[in-house]
Amino acid sequence: MTTVAVMLYAGCIYKEVEASVEALRGAVRLLHLSPDGKAIESDDGRRPVIDGSYAVLEQRAVDCVLIPGGDPGSIIENALSAGPLRAAARQGALMAGVCAGNLVLAEAGLLKDHEGTHNYTVDRAPLEKVEATAPFWAGMKFVSADIVEDRKRITAQPWADGQLADLLVKRLVLENVRSSTT
């Protein structure tokens, strides 16, 4: 069965991945992961059931990693996400980020040599955030779009959560059904 890991962190915006989680529920195995496998609280007070730590991504293959936005400073500054994300990417996982989830992918070096989108631009974010995040985007070709898919990377704006859900269903469910029946 296809496995999707949802990489959560304290203060993440679960709403940004909720449409994808609900669209995939029942068709894939969903794993909610936190840095240490312990409970986290999202920005709106939700406490999703956690199935394990980020280390799961280094221990077994998953088909997709989905990362919501929020304030990912705690996992970026402490380098908690980069190694597990790189391990999942090396194993061929589709990597999908929304809003600041794209920053988490960029910090891990997974958007270099890829096209992608993000909202850390002068028309969408304060100049200090644009300048602080600029080094992370080095090597990524920015595309001004709601959602960008480039090989095994998907980057989405926070308002494109429905589009992301549709794309993930297409890639992880519908294409798998077609390939298994041919």
Question: What is the predicted pLDDT for the residue at 141?
Answer: 98
Q: What integer pLDDT is reported at residue 38 of this predicted model?
A: 97
> Tokens 């985007």 map to which residue?
137
Residue 179 has a pLDDT of 59
C-alpha span between 146 and 161 (Å, rounded):
9
How many other CB atoms are found less than 10 A from the CB of residue 2?
16
Strand ordering across the sheet containing 94-98? 52-53, 29-34, 3-7, 64-67, 94-98, 153-156, 147-150
Residues 6+ apart with CB under 8 A from 10: 40, 41, 74
What is the Cα Rg of the chain in Å? 15
pTM of the model: 0.94
Per-10-residue mean pLDDT, the chain, length 182:
96 96 97 97 94 96 96 83 96 97 96 97 95 96 98 97 97 77 52
Q: Which ranges in 60-160 belong to alpha helices (H)? A: 73-77, 82-90, 100-107, 127-133
Ordered domains of the chain (ranges, CATH): 3-172 (3.40.50.880)
Contact predicate 146/159, CB 8 Å? yes
